[in-house]
């Protein structure tokens, strides 16, 4: 079974598991806690783990007798970078860059990861990670509006919005969702102006809320981080 690999993305809000067979993602599982892993893991399939938020995961795997390859702090990367503080670079951002480097090794690629935070990162056509930005994600923006005011309700993301809300509910939805849409569009346009043949990837749990139609070279892949974990696993074991 050495052609199979289980990759685990231990995020801030949930666990995401992906089974790869001969490099192809064949099965997915989203787990809210370690109890949901019962019966899903086997000693015969190697595990590659990137864990930034699930602090009990390592202890759980050790207790169950599993061994794993930890790429949370990778020593070797398949791509170059100009990041000034690599020790503080989140593994989810590293994984996204590893995935697009594997998929498009000679293209300019912009990755916009819509999760707990909105992370936008750029890999150039020479295989160099140039850096990016971090801002609050959907839920963080809604929670901050609720927490730091006396009367605004706590809302969650919705799939449609407009320009001028005619209620407090609409105003919050239009402001948060429209603001993120504008941030995404600004970055796409800004990067496209100075980078020819730009490819754009949207990933993360909230990516499905944002529709850019059938624009050329824009892809939605909610499993990009898993593919990056697999890419790093293959690179470090090659």
> What is the crossing angle of helices 224-236 and 91-103, to 10°?
80
Based on the residue annotation, tell me whether 211 is a catalytic residue of this protein.
no
Output phi, psi for 167, to 5 deg: -150, 165
Dist CA 116 CA 137 (whole Å) = 5
Dist CA 8 CA 18 (whole Å) = 7
**What is the total residue count of the chain?**
238
One DSSP character per residue, 12-37 reads SS-EEEEEEETTEEEEEEEESSGGGG
Dist CA 67 CA 69 (whole Å) = 7
Write down the catalytic residue from 9, 92, 113, 121: 92
Report yes or no: 226 and 41 within 8 Å, Cβ to Cβ: no
Q: How far is CA 106 from CA 49, 126, 190, in A?
A: 27, 6, 20
> Which residue in this structure is represented by tokens 């890999």?
123
Report yes or no: 227 and 99 within 8 Å, Cβ to Cβ: yes
Report yes or no: 95 and 229 within 8 Å, Cβ to Cβ: yes
Active site residues: 92
């Amino acid at each position: 079974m050495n052609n199979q690999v289980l990759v685990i993305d231990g995020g801030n809000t949930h666990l995401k598991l992906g089974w790869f067979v001969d490099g192809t993602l064949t099965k997915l599982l989203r787990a809210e806690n370690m109890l949901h892993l019962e019966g899903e893991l086997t000693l015969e399939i190697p595990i590659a783990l990137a864990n930034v938020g699930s602090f009990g995961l390592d202890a759980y795997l050790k207790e169950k007798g599993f061994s794993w390859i930890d790429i949370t702090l990778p020593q070797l990367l398949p791509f170059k970078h100009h990041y000034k503080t690599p020790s503080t670079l989140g593994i989810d951002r590293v994984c996204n860059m590893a995935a697009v480097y594997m998929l498009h090794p000679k293209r300019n690629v912009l990755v916009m990861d819509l999760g707990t935070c909105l992370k936008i990162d750029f890999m150039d056509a020479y295989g160099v990670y140039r850096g990016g930005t971090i801002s609050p994600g959907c839920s963080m923006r809604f929670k901050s509006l609720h927490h730091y005011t006396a009367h605004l309700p706590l809302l969650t993301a919705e799939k449609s919005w407009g320009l001028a809300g005619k209620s407090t509910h609409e105003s919050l939805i239009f402001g948060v969702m429209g603001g993120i849409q504008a941030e995404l569009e600004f970055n796409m346009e800004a990067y496209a102006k100075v980078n020819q043949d730009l490819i754009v990837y949207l990933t993360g749990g909230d990516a499905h809320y944002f529709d850019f139609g059938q624009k050329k070279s824009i892809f939605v892949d909610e499993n990009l981080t898993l593919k990056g974990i697999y890419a790093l696993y293959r690179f470090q074991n090659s």
